[in-house]
Structure 1
Amino acid sequence: MGSFKQNTRETFLGLAETIREKWSDFIQFLEEAWPLLILLLAILMGIWWYADPPPPRHVQMATGSAGGSYELLGKKYAEYFATKGVTLELVPTLGAQENLIRLSDRNDPVQAAFVQAGVEQPKNISGIQSLGSIAYDPIWFFYRGPEVKSNEFQVIAGHSKYFSTRKISVGVEGSGTHSQTSRIIKASGIDRSGLQFVYYPGEKAVKALKNGEIDGAFIVDAVDAPNVLALLNDPELHLATFKRAEAFTKLLPYMHILNVPEGSFSLERNFPDQDLKLIATTTNLLIDDRMHPAIQFLFLEAAREINGKESFFANRGEFPSFKDSLWPESPVAVHYEKNSYPLIAAYFPFWMAEFISRLLFIFLPFCVIAYPVLRALPSYRTKLMYNKINRLYGELKTFEQGLLATFDAAQRDEYLKKLDLLEYQALNIKVSKRLAGDYYTLRTSIDYVRNCLNRGVHPYQFAEGVGSDL
């Protein structure tokens, strides 16, 4: 038994020899199989580019009218996107219906929009999916003048004591405010003939109400929207309660009841001076259904970061959710709701996480294609080597048959040069150890023919009459 030092040395020498052998086989494999590898690489690039193109770095999003909460919310989303290396361009619009039309237009670059649940949908709208609800949008009714009892707002037999004599803004046509107000009025059953409705956008309605040009205004917007805050902070204005809020939520299932405790807007003013009930729709984050999944995940992460916090009306973690989406749900959002964002995103920047995710996405289908091909490579290499050996065998056989037919002793040196060339070609064949026997058999066969030519009696030429008796 050898010493420990000797055994260790022999072990490392054996490992080094094995590594050199494997490396030599690998280099030989690359030299022989490069056309097949190029084909596999082309398949990989095809899958990479066409099946899962990289996400865009610029996205357009429709918000809404100036002064509304959607404008402020859009800016928060744009700031979040900027931290991830994506530019979110905000596109102001007249309201919900314009947002829907632009989203469904396949030639419009807008790919996302804030739209209230329950807005009237234009005809022939398609190609839109929902990433879920992200916030409550209370329906506010502010009015000026003496405080009105809640029962005076109620519609009985098609008439309302308050609305029949007042000038009220119900939002510009096509906006979410106008759509929600129209549904409430329709559900109430009020007779619209003779009503003094005006159709002002949010900012104009606020100014008109504060200046006494109108008596009241419906506004559908978040509690922290500039237009809403301007009215809440005006001590000359009053906020109506929806006494029959439960009835509205039954007639309009996408509506929610929001409770406003006494004094919660201003303890100093004790505003409101009693507990109020508001009804609210929700803001839906809608997208073009062709949006890249990575950008959808980015929107959902922004919604969780921005809208998932506790607010005046919402609990922590309440949004984003599929509370009342009337649009088809995005499969990406459904996956996100069940599994959240891929774990890898917690440890890498957005673009790096997306790159790794795409690699994983193409790795599985690539393996399905590559595995059987790679399994066939050993037999492919073996067949390639066999073909080279057999080709030289064929040349040697043809050469020898030629000697039998036309042997000329004076051409012996030329014959030997031909054999030397065949042997040189055999020496340049790179074969694996499995084919070493065939390789050396070929060289032995070449040497056998050479020996036949070099000996005194040539088997390729018989004396006259010797072969005739056979």
Structure 2
Amino acid sequence: MRIFIGFLSILLAAVALWFLSRDLVPPKSVRFAAGAAGGGYYAIAERYRARLARDDIDMEIVETSGSVENAALLGERRVDVALLQGGIAAPEGTETLGAMFYEPLFVFARRDAEVPANPGRWAELTIAAGAPGSGTTAAFDALERAAGHAPGANRRLPLSGAEAADALLRGEADLAVFVAPLSAPYLAPLFAEEGVGLLQLEHITALSRRMPQAEAITLPAAGVSFAPVVPPEDLRMLGMVANLVADERLHPSLADRLAMAARDIHGAADAITRTRQFPSAEAGALPVDAYAATLIRQGPSPLQDVLPYWVVAQVNRFAILLLPILFILLPLVRALPGVYSWRMRRRVFRYYPMIRAIDMAARKATEAETLTELERRLEAIDEDVAEMTLPPPYRDRAYTARLHIDLVRQRIDSKLQRF
């Protein structure tokens, strides 16, 4: 038993060392798919780059048209991590490092266009609704379906971000739609422009029920500015939750740094979210990286005060992998003494059916030759039991079996004397 436990300990230690040593030194670079330069996603990516630079990690920001292209680049493994808007399907082989922030669906309209607040009544409008490959385009498609629009009911301009804002300000569009964080830089001119207003959509609850990727959120009065007060009253909006999604093969130390950066960047309150509402590791549509989820919920390990973060990442990663194994192994280890005891007893007990069969046959025997053959078989069993090597706690089983054999032998000898 001690030999087995020793062997098991050595095996577990070897597995631990293998996991800890495998790719121990982290990569020094990571490719991050953001959005277009000057957009909200790009601004957030720049904050991640500055945060990772503290640990000498070079983050390359890959400019894209938006979430749809980000997902495609992840699927092709041309980037390591990307921001994905809620409702954008993540490719296979990826995991979310957490939900990061709300992205409201902003609908700005020219005041002179007299756009209905009910999106179901929009008709023959010119709408800047996102460039191809952007999350805004995907969200507006869902909004049109939810409002019951047939394709082509309105004219769409394939513009996103600053280009869409400029088109609205120049009067080239009646509406401009954005799915973006409140801090997106191209929103500021729209909030300040008197000829443009943020449209309060009607029937937000009904729309959110028909758009699984969206939920109803509230932008409070003065959530944008106090002088002037923008918006002038609480504004109910549709909002989507952006996720930071990574290749499942992402090195654990990079997952560590990205998760800790997310706590710093997205943990503060804003007009829409409470303090520490984000990042969130709650399970949603995407599988969550277990290590990142632990960091988001519990914060950094105390080991980081004495060890480099990349060593701690490997230790914690191994601990996460080891826990399920321990839940399986511990009951097995606890059962081992009982299994071992049963096996030792069985080495002796397996002879008892043969001993009993000889005893019953001897009782019925009527010829000396039969009794002699039974006695010979009994002697063979006795020799086997006598030569058996058992640990000291189980030797009494062998002695007890030999006593029983001797009782049967005496019965056979007594009956033989009658012939």
Correspondence for 1:313 among 248, 272, 275: 272
Question: What's the counterpart of residue 172 of structure 1?
Answer: 131
Question: What's the counterpart of residue 292 of structure 2?
Answer: 333
SS in 1 for 2:43: helix
Question: What's the counterpart of residue 111 of structure 1?
Answer: 80
Q: Is the 8 A contact 2:123 2:154 kept in 1?
A: yes
What is the distance in 1 between the residues matched to 2:128 and 2:256? 38
What is the distance in 2 between the residues matched to 1:45 and 1:269? 60
Q: Deviation string for 1:322-352 (max 9, x for gaps)?
A: 4574222222233334543322124545346
In the TM superposition, what are the counterparts of 1:328-407 in structure 2 within 5 Å? 328-351=287-310, 353-354=312-313
Q: CA deviation at 1:148?
A: 4.3
Question: What's the counterpart of residue 280 of structure 1?
Answer: 239
In the TM superposition, what are the counterparts of 1:292-307 in structure 2 within 5 Å? 292-307=251-266
What is the distance in 1 between the residues matched to 2:317 and 2:198? 52
SS in 1 for 2:127: strand
Residues 291 and 355 of structure 1: CA distance in aligned 2, closer, same or farther (over 3 Å) = closer
Q: Is the 8 A contact 1:137 1:282 kept in 2?
A: yes
Correspondence for 1:130 among 92, 96, 103: 96
Residues 350 and 194 of structure 1: CA distance in aligned 2, closer, same or farther (over 3 Å) = same
What is the distance in 2 between the residues matched to 1:336 and 1:116? 22
Q: What residue identity is the alignment partner of 1:73? A: I
In the alignment of these two chains, the number of paired residues is 314
Q: Is the 8 A contact 1:223 1:229 kept in 2?
A: no
What is the distance in 2 between the residues matched to 1:287 and 1:334? 13
Q: CA deviation at 1:54?
A: 2.5
Question: What's the counterpart of residue 164 of structure 2?
Answer: 205
What is the distance in 1 between the residues matched to 2:94 and 2:45? 19
Question: What's the counterpart of residue 52 of structure 2?
Answer: 81
What is the distance in 2 between the residues matched to 1:308 and 1:205? 30
Stretches of structure 1 that go unaligned for 5 or more consecutive residues are 1-39, 366-470
In the TM superposition, what are the counterparts of 1:5-44 in structure 2 within 5 Å? none
Q: Is the 8 A contact 1:202 1:227 kept in 2?
A: yes
Q: Deviation string for 1:64-119 (max 9, x for gaps)?
A: 1122111111111111111122111111111112111111224x2x1000110102
Question: What's the counterpart of residue 62 of structure 1?
Answer: 33
Residues 111 and 245 of structure 1: CA distance in aligned 2, closer, same or farther (over 3 Å) = same
Q: Deviation string for 1:372-431 (max 9, x for gaps)?
A: xxxxxxxxxxxxxxxxxxxxxxxxxxxxxxxxxxxxxxxxxxxxxxxxxxxxxxxxxxxx
What is the distance in 1 between the residues matched to 2:210 and 2:234? 23
Question: What's the counterpart of residue 144 of structure 1?
Answer: 110
Q: Is the 8 A contact 1:128 1:288 kept in 2?
A: yes
Q: Deviation string for 1:191-220 (max 9, x for gaps)?
A: 333421111121211111111111110011
In the TM superposition, what are the counterparts of 1:407-422 in structure 2 within 5 Å? none
Structure 1 or 2, whichever has the larger Rg, is 1
What is the distance in 2 between the residues matched to 1:268 and 1:50? 57
Q: Is the 8 A contact 2:260 2:296 kept in 1?
A: no
Correspondence for 2:205 among 246, 251, 262: 246
Residues 291 and 256 of structure 1: CA distance in aligned 2, closer, same or farther (over 3 Å) = same
Correspondence for 2:117 among 153, 157, 172: 153
| Worse-superposed segment, 215-224 or 339-348 | 339-348
What is the distance in 1 between the residues matched to 2:216 and 2:305? 36
What is the distance in 2 between the residues matched to 1:361 and 1:245? 42
Residues 261 and 146 of structure 1: CA distance in aligned 2, closer, same or farther (over 3 Å) = farther
What is the distance in 1 between the residues matched to 2:15 and 2:150? 66
SS in 1 for 2:206: helix
Q: Is the 8 A contact 2:220 2:272 kept in 1?
A: no
Q: What residue identity is the alignment partner of 2:68? A: Q
Q: CA deviation at 1:147?
A: 7.7
What is the distance in 1 between the residues matched to 2:119 and 2:109? 17
Stretches of structure 2 that go unaligned for 5 or more consecutive residues are 1-10, 326-419
What is the distance in 1 between the residues matched to 2:307 and 2:92? 36
SS in 1 for 2:48: helix
* Identity rate, percent: 26
What is the distance in 1 between the residues matched to 2:197 and 2:301? 48
What is the distance in 2 between the residues matched to 1:194 and 1:212? 20
Q: Is the 8 A contact 2:38 2:185 kept in 1?
A: yes
Q: CA deviation at 1:61?
A: 0.6
Q: CA deviation at 1:262?
A: 3.2
SS in 1 for 2:137: helix
Kindly indicate whether residue 185 of structure 2 is the aligned counterpart of residue 237 of structure 1.
Answer: no
Q: CA RMSD in A?
A: 3.1
What is the distance in 1 between the residues matched to 2:81 and 2:42? 14
Correspondence for 1:257 among 216, 221, 240: 216
Q: Is the 8 A contact 2:291 2:316 kept in 1?
A: no
SS in 2 for 1:59: strand
What is the distance in 2 between the residues matched to 1:173 and 1:314? 29
Q: Is the 8 A contact 1:171 1:177 kept in 2?
A: yes
Q: Is the 8 A contact 2:219 2:237 kept in 1?
A: yes
Q: CA deviation at 1:46?
A: 7.9
Q: CA deviation at 1:280?
A: 0.7
TM-score by length of 1: 0.60
Q: Is the 8 A contact 1:130 1:325 kept in 2?
A: no
What is the distance in 2 between the residues matched to 1:280 and 1:272? 16
Q: Is the 8 A contact 2:24 2:314 kept in 1?
A: no
Q: Is the 8 A contact 1:147 1:238 kept in 2?
A: no
Question: What's the counterpart of residue 179 of structure 2?
Answer: 220
SS in 1 for 2:80: strand
Residues 352 and 307 of structure 1: CA distance in aligned 2, closer, same or farther (over 3 Å) = same
